[in-house]
């Protein structure tokens, strides 16, 4: 991705290290794509009704991850309070989605992959939150 290169050229520097910010943004985009794909795979399963909650949480998590990535990519007049709040929401979305996908991980490989992507994204968001001054 060109995210790190772009952030490095921005005239306003973020209040955190660019490499940590970039890693989080990349984890967010990855999680969004994986969650969307998992929802689609769930829709293709024979017993789709049993996966309704999983599909809903996949799509919610994907939307929240995408929004968070977009907010993090904006550096002009960076609002730490708003960004921290968005990251905290994303942590919750990833945790809830990972737990639900974990319920189906043994039966569906796509849910196992999604659970892992959500756990990684949650971890990256928590790391970035910890880098902001309280």
CATH number, domain with residue 21 = 1.20.1270.360
DSSP result, 22-90: HHHHHHHHHHHHHHHHHHHHHHTSTTGGGGHHHHHHHHHHHHHHHHHHHHHT--TT--HHHHHHHHHHH
Would 103 be classed as within a structural domain? yes
Does 42 reside within a domain?
Answer: yes
Is 1 a domain residue? no
Nearest to 86 by CA among 75, 70, 100, 98: 70
Torsion angle of C-alpha atoms 78, 98, 37, 26, degrees rounded to 10? 30
pLDDT reading at 134 higher than 70: no
Residue 39 lies in a domain: yes
pTM of the model: 0.92
**pLDDT above 90 for 19:** no
Q: What is the dihedral of CA 39, 45, 50, 51, to 10 degrees?
A: -10
Query: pLDDT band at residue 81, thresholds of 50, 70 and 90?
Result: very high
* pLDDT tens by residue, 35-80: 999 999 999 999 999 999 999 999 999 999 999 999 999 988 888 9
Cα–Cα dist 73/112, whole Å: 29
Q: Are 27 and 128 a contacting pair, CB within 8 Å?
A: no
- Identify the pLDDT of residue 36: 98
If one counts the domains in the chain, the total is 1
In a domain, 9, yes or no: no
User: Is residue 80 a part of any domain in this protein?
Assistant: yes
C-alpha to C-alpha distance for 91 and 112, rounded to whole angstroms: 18
Residue 99 falls within a domain, yes or no?
A: yes
Q: How confident is the model at residue 1 (pLDDT cuts 50, 70, 90)?
A: low
The residue that leads in pLDDT, 77 or 96, is 96
Whether 3 maps to a domain, the answer reads no
Q: Provide the residue range defining the domain that includes 30.
A: 15-131
């Amino acid at each position: 991705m060109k995210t790190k290169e772009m952030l490095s050229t921005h005239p306003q520097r973020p209040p955190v290290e660019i490499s940590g910010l970039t890693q989080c943004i990349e984890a967010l985009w990855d999680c969004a794509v994986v969650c969307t794909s998992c929802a689609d795979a769930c829709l293709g399963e024979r017993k789709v009704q049993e996966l309704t909650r999983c599909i809903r949480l996949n799509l919610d998590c994907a939307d929240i991850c995408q929004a968070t990535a977009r907010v993090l990519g904006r550096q002009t007049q960076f609002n730490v309070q708003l960004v921290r709040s968005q990251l905290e929401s994303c942590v919750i979305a990833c945790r809830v989605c990972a737990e639900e996908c974990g319920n189906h991980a043994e039966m569906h490989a796509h849910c196992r992959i999604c659970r892992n992507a959500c756990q990684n994204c949650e971890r990256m968001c928590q790391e970035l939150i910890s880098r902001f001054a309280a």
